[in-house]
Amino acid sequence: MSLKSTLIATLAAFILATPALAEIEIHDPYARSSNAMAGAAFMVIHNSGDTDDHLMGVTSDAAQRVELHTHIEDENGVMRMIHVEDGFVVPAASDILLQRGGNHVMFMGLTAPFVQDDIITIILVFENAGEVTVEIPVVQVESTSPSWTTGPTVKAALLHL
Ligand SMILES: [Cu+2]
């Protein structure tokens, strides 16, 4: 293969590999578990592209079931977590937050307990960007912000697990 054709092949591979990576960026991911069976992951998902994308699902070996969840307030004023089967839209040139008390990645039936500083690997599946692998550090140590597991209403909501 000539140098020129090698360069063209390299360039073509680069161009083919780049677009999906350029559109979606994940910032500040962290994961934590409330008990030996369940955990959640939080992050900022940034869409730098000029078209909306759609987070359709998530997979991971870290638990038997991994789902996209959100919190809703039921008729009794109790916050409950529900599986969001349609996923989340990530608007063009915008961010969505997966955060405590809101949208999150839920782990049910942990393969192994989450241990501080361990890395949990998940694959987010986007309609346009495709599969995006995210390495997420476990942060079990309490920060100054209130834990998603400490409030009595959220504890009640965990019973659905
Ligand atoms: Cu949940």
DSSP secondary structure letters along 36-83: SSEEEEEEEEEE-SSS-EEEEEEEETTEEEEEEEEEEE-TTS-EEEEE
C-alpha 17 to ligand 1 mean position (Å):
33
Separation in Å, CA 100 to CA 8, 22, 41, 133: 47, 27, 9, 21
C-alpha 149 to ligand 1 mean position (Å):
11
pLDDT at 34: 84
Q: What span, in angstroms and rounded, lies between the C-alpha atoms of 108 and 106? A: 6
C-alpha 157 to ligand 1 mean position (Å):
9
C-alpha 88 to ligand 1 mean position (Å):
14
Q: What span, in angstroms and rounded, lies between the C-alpha atoms of 26 and 47? A: 9
Domain ranges (residues) in the chain? 23-160
pLDDT at 135: 98
Superfamily of domain 23-160: PCu(A)C copper chaperone (2.60.40.1890)
What are the mean pLDDT values of the chain's consecutive 10-residue runs (161 residues total)?
62 55 87 93 96 97 97 92 96 96 96 95 96 96 53 43 35
C-alpha 38 to ligand 1 mean position (Å):
9
Identify whether the C-beta of residue 50 lies closer than 8 Å to the C-beta of residue 92: yes
Q: What span, in angstroms and rounded, lies between the C-alpha atoms of 154 and 13? A: 48
C-alpha 23 to ligand 1 mean position (Å):
26
C-alpha 52 to ligand 1 mean position (Å):
25
C-alpha 87 to ligand 1 mean position (Å):
13
pLDDT at 160: 38
**Per residue in 1-29, pLDDT tens?**
566 666 666 656 655 555 444 589 999 99
C-alpha 104 to ligand 1 mean position (Å):
6
